[in-house]
């Protein structure tokens, strides 16, 4: 941590004031200088993002191509991370797995986050009976641990990428709505919302222009955390055989079955896919923590 | 205090009823007739009579409201009907597997608390030092590491180390024996899953302890305690930690309920025949009576943990009791 991290409140205010006038580049550089761990996390995320987006160009082999002359080969120049029990190149499967993880992670976080945002802000804004009922519903939904809820949804709709996305998105919605509602509640009482109402603006305009921008900070922090949670949940489901199915390349799936069986003779099959999951979620969490420090002034010294 | 507890108890009822209704509805959302799906995939005799027998077994021959009432009554009597897959009563299947899961969960909690509270406190006291950065990184890594992968690594490490020491690889025994019959054998089965689950648990608790301590250390009464010349050890133990542990207690309680989720995956890695593994089997075999009973059990554990935490919190912090 650089010494500038432990700024006094006064200098923090000084730093904040011209922030709006700084260019994006300047602000990014400032973020990197103040949050070295967060920048490292962001770098990890970007590496995974590039791997996921450019899988066709980056992967040396096809992720589904079997090579029965090279089964459970240790890492070598031909296969940088070795091959699995079907002779498939592990590096290629990890690169394609990044795509699966990113698709699931981002779809769940964005869809779950936005539904949660709408319900949370709406609940806080309208208050009264709607709020009370929604709160009870969220209470019920929050009583299901994420993975248990996801398993229950999979039990109904079945496995596969799309169903996994639905299964993980559903439990994220109330978690987002809760957080958003509590920060939106304090904004509802602020005079400018009253002023907007006095001007005769409609509900949609007040919600979109006055309430939503003010809950953006906790919302963005939450969405970042959701991406990590969703990737972990997808990996767990796939590992249990109840998520993404073969032949799609997914990190959790790579650890299923063969990985345990061959663990002692071919440890690379078990080590590298798990490392990919851990590093990605580690990167997202570091970035999320840094984002929280920057966006939430109350948390600045923590 | 009693008033508070009664109020809190009343709040539990709508949550449980709602959860029961949701679980009941979810299991009836399954496309197609469960019995037809089951008989068709089983490859056995498939005729109208077999379907009717199956319906009567699961209770699907009654109207939906009657089914729901029966489901709720069953919940109170811990009677969920027969498992669709094994034919044995669901409650029997669950009770047989509950001890091992509970044991892992309790041991994981002990491990997590023993690691998290001292490390979190040190991390807060030495904010932004090297110790702090290391502790925080270890904590974030704990959240990021999937428990099944950690489990595989632990197994690999045990195999390699025992091979190096004794020449033959050693694996923990698989068949469960209770703690009272053979404590050493029992612990050798339970300790690895408990450490694996406990690491993530301790990571979450460590972060909470750290941030709660940082907040408390800025309070006026800490400054007063220091100003009157109290030695640092007493300031930390008596004044800071005691207050900082309140939110940590909440988190420990809530995370304990979420351990069930963690066990689903960890039991699979370590081949433990507990509740988590039963859950996966239930979903894989499309055993809906078993699945709905297990989901309901998780919810009840979660709600109870929340209730205990809230009551404990009120007991520890008089401000909540009288608010």
- Write the residue in B29, B144, B155 that is nearest to A263 by C-beta: B155
Pick the more confident residue, B203 or B165: B203
Domain boundaries, chain B: 2-77, 92-316
Which residues of chain A from 45 to 74 reach within 8 Å of chain B, CB to CB? none
Q: Does residue A14 have a pLDDT over 50?
A: no
User: How does pLDDT run across B216-262, given as a tens digit for each residue?
Assistant: 888 888 888 888 888 888 888 888 888 888 888 888 888 887 787 78
Tell me the C-alpha distance between A81 and A267, whole Å: 11
Model confidence at A279: pLDDT above 90: yes
- In terms of pTM, does the model score above 0.90? no
Examine the pLDDT at B26 and tell me if it is beyond 70. Answer: yes
Integer CA distances (angstroms), B231 to A112, A136, B216, B226, B235, in order: 50, 48, 17, 7, 6
Interface test with B, best of A44, A48, A140 (most B CBs within 10 A): A140
Give helix then strand counts, H and E, for chain A: 14, 0
User: For testing the chain B interface, which of A153, A240, A258, A272 should be mutated: the one with the most B CBs within 10 Å?
Assistant: A240
Cis peptide before A247 (omega within 30 of 0): yes
Question: What is the residue whose two structure tokens read 């969220």?
Answer: A138
B278-292 pLDDT tens trace: 888 888 877 778 888
- CATH superfamily to which B92-316 belongs: MetI-like (1.10.3720.10)
Alpha-carbon distance B32 to nearest alpha carbon in chain A (angstroms): 10
pLDDT digits (tens, 9 = 90+) for A148-181: 888 888 888 888 888 899 999 999 999 999 888 8
If you measure CA to CA, which chain A residue comes closest to B288?
A155
Residue A228 binned pLDDT confidence (cut-offs 50, 70, 90)? very high
> What are chain A's domains?
96-281 (1.10.3720.10)
pLDDT tops 50 at residue A89: yes
Q: For B129-139, what is each residue's pLDDT tens digit?
A: 888 889 988 99
Residues in Cβ contact with B258 at an 8 Å cutoff, skipping those fewer than 6 apart: A145, A146, B302
**CA distance, residue B179 to nearest chain A CA (Å):** 28
pLDDT at position A5: 43
Tell me the residues of chain A between 141 and 170 that have a Cβ less than 8 Å away from chain B.
Answer: 141, 143-148, 151-156
Dihedral sign for Cα A262, A265, A266, A270, please: positive
| % of chain B beyond a pLDDT of 70 | 89
């Amino acid at each position: 941590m650089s010494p500038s991290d432990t700024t006094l409140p006064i200098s923090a205010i000084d730093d904040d004031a011209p922030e709006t006038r700084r260019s994006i580049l300047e602000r990014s550089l400032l973020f990197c200088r103040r949050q070295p761990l967060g920048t490292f996390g962001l770098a990890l995320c970007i590496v995974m993002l590039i791997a996921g987006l450019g899988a066709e160009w980056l992967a040396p082999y096809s992720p589904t191509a079997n090579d029965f002359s090279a089964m459970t080969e240790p890492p070598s120049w031909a296969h940088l991370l070795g091959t699995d029990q079907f002779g498939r190149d592990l590096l290629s499967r990890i690169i394609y797995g990044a795509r699966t993880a990113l698709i699931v992670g981002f779809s769940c976080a964005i869809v779950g986050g936005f539904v949660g945002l709408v319900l949370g802000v709406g609940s806080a804004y309208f208050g009264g009976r709607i709020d009370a009922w929604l709160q009870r519903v969220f209470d019920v939904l929050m009583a299901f641990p994420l993975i248990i809820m996801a398993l229950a949804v999979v039990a109904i709709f079945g496995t596969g990428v799309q169903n996994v996305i639905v299964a993980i998105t559903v439990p994220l919605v109330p978690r987002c709505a809760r957080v958003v509602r509590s920060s939106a509640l304090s904004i509802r009482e602020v005079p400018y919302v009253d002023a907007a109402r006095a001007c005769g603006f409609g509900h949609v305009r007040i919600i979109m222009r006055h309430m939503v921008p003010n809950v953006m900070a906790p919302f963005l922090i939450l969405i970042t955390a959701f991406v990590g949670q969703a990737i972990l949940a997808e990996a767990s489901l796939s590992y249990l055989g109840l998520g993404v199915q073969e032949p799609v390349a997914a990190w959790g799936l790579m650890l299923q079955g063969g990985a345990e069986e061959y663990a002692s003779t071919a440890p690379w099959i078990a080590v590298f896919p798990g490392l990919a999951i851990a590093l990605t979620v580690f990167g997202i969490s570091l970035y999320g923590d840094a984002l929280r420090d920057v966006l939430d002034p109350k948390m600045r010294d923590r | 205090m009693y008033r508070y507890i009664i109020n809190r108890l009343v709040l539990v009822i709508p949550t449980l009823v709602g959860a029961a209704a949701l679980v009941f509805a979810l299991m009836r959302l399954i496309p197609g007739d469960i019995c037809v799906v089951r008989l068709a995939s089983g490859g056995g005799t498939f005729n109208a009579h077999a379907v009717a027998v199956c319906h009567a077994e699961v209770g699907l021959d009654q109207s939906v409201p009657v089914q729901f009432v029966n489901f709720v009554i069953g919940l109170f009597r811990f009677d969920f009907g027969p498992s669709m897959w094994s034919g044995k009563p669901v409650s029997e299947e669950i009770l047989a597997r509950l001890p091992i899961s509970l044991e892992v969960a309790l041991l994981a909690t002990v491990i997590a608390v023993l690691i998290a509270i001292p490390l979190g406190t040190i991390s807060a006291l030495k904010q932004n030092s090297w110790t702090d950065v290391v502790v925080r990184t270890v904590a974030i890594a704990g959240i990021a590491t999937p428990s099944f992968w950690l489990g595989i690594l632990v197994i690999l490490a045990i195999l390699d180390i025992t091979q190096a020491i004794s020449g033959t690889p050693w694996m923990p025994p698989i068949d469960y024996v209770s703690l009272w019959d053979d404590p050493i054998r029992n612990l050798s089965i339970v300790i690895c899953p408990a450490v694996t689950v406990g690491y993530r648990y301790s990571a979450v608790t460590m972060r909470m302890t750290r941030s709660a301590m940082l907040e408390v250390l800025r309070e006026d009464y800490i400054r007063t305690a220091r100003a009157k010349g109290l030695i640092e050890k007493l300031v930390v133990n008596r004044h800071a930690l005691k207050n900082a542990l309140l939110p940590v207690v909440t988190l420990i309680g809530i995370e304990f309920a979420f351990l069930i989720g963690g066990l689903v995956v960890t039991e699979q890695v370590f081949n433990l025949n507990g509740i988590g593994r039963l859950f996966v089997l239930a979903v894989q075999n499309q055993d809906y009576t078993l699945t709905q009973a297990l989901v309901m059990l998780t919810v009840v554990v979660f709600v109870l943990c929340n209730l205990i935490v809230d009551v404990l919190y009120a007991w520890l912090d008089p401000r909540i009791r009288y608010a």
